[in-house]
Amino acid sequence: MNRELDNRIRVFRAEHRLSQTDLAELIGVSRKTISTIEVGRFVPSTVIALKIARHFGVPVEDIFSLKEPDA
Amino acid sequence: MSQHESIPQFQDRFLQRTAVGVLCLAGGYAASAGQFLVGEGPAQVLDVLDLAFALAAVAMVLPPFVKLLRLRRSDEWACANTEGFVGEVFRTACVRTFTLMFVLLVLAEPLSDRFLLQLPTNFFVNVILAVTLAMFSLSFLLLNRDDDEDEEDPAG
């Protein structure tokens, strides 16, 4: 898991009833790219992050956020 | 390539097949290096093995490469994103391989000069190529392995 970046792609996918393959084809990446972003193995480029946000019609910060440091 | 395979899916598959092909090449170079260490009989076997590895490498990479050349002219290819996970893994494996090759060359230089004088330069070249190509391929396959990120039911 990436220690700094959180994402809510899975939540948005569920809301829009999209599979990883569906989202990957809509964004123009492979399914593996989506799945590894979701589990935090891969930090996407700015372009991919913006494409995902644009697809769901939300600001990129609604999908990607920095994890809060431990208190 | 399946009928519904997207360009990014094809790119991933091409890189995966390239990595396996590179592993075959590594086997070929290892067989070539081995020929300097064994007698004439086993060397002939290794020579055949070398050829078999080379043919396997071509068989792995050539079909998708031909497809790639055709697809590169398409509009869909121009729009495809090349910044995906597998591409990143490929670049990481390349960097690791370059580093390892540099270290091996530095180590091989004194070895070939002082201790292994009876072995020709070709042996060292083959060994270094075999190790670095194997490192590239295994590094790629390890980083690209499937874990727990399988497709899930969107309704679930």
Q: What is the pLDDT of residue B138?
A: 94
Q: What is the pLDDT of residue B110?
A: 82
Region A48-70: mean pLDDT is: 91
Q: How confident is the model at residue B81 (pLDDT cuts 50, 70, 90)?
A: low
Q: What is the pLDDT of residues B49-67, one digit of tens each?
A: 999 999 999 999 999 898 8
Q: What is the pLDDT of residues B5-50, one digit of tens each?
A: 888 989 999 999 999 999 999 999 999 999 988 888 899 999 999 9
H/E stretch holding B139 reads: helix B121-143
Among B80, B156, B95, B83, CA closest to A33: B83
C-alpha angle A40/B139/A65, rounded to 5°?
15
Contact residues for B92 (Cβ-Cβ < 8 A; gap 6+): B139, B143
A53-66 exposure pattern, b = at least 16 Cβ within 10 A, e = fewer: beebeeeeeebbee
Q: What is the pLDDT of residues A19-50, one digit of tens each?
A: 999 999 999 999 999 999 999 999 999 999 99
What does the alpha-carbon distance between residue A41 and residue A3 come to, in Å, rounded to a whole number?
10
The distance of B88 to chain A (nearest Cα, Å) reads 9
Query: Is B154–A28 a contact, with Cβ atoms under 8 angstroms apart?
Result: no
**Residue B20 burial class via C-beta count within 10 angstroms: exposed 0-12, middle 13-18, buried 19 and up:** middle
Hey, is the C-beta of A35 within 8 angstroms of any chain B C-beta? yes
What is the DSSP track for B40-81?
HHHHHHHHHHHHHHHHHHHHHHHHHHHHHHHHTTSHHHHH--
> Taking phi first (over 0 means left), then psi (-120 to 50 degrees means alpha), and beta for anything else, what does residue B7 get?
alpha
H/E stretch holding A34 reads: helix A31-38
- Say what the pTM is: 0.82
DSSP-derived letter for residue A58 is S
Hey, is the C-beta of B155 within 8 angstroms of any chain A C-beta? yes
- Which two three-digit tokens encode residue B51? 């050829």
Whole-complex ipTM: 0.83
Domain boundaries, chain B: 7-143
From the CA atom positions of chain B, what is the Rg in Å?
Answer: 19
Q: Of A5-14, B74-83, B100-109, B110-119, which range is least confident?
A: B74-83
CATH 3.10.20.340 fits A5-59, yes or no: no
Query: Is B6–A35 a contact, with Cβ atoms under 8 angstroms apart?
Result: no
Return the residue of A nearest to B148 by Cα. Answer: A39
Q: What is the pLDDT of residues B103-151, one digit of tens each?
A: 988 888 887 777 777 888 888 899 999 999 999 999 999 998 876 555 6
C-alpha angle A56/A62/A66, rounded to 5°?
135
Q: Which residue has the higher pLDDT, A52 or B40?
A: A52
Domain boundaries, chain A: 5-59
What does the alpha-carbon distance between residue B111 and residue B97 come to, in Å, rounded to a whole number?
21
Residue of B7, B149, B150, B152 to mutate when probing chain A, most A C-beta within 10 A = B149
H/E stretch holding A66 reads: strand A64-66
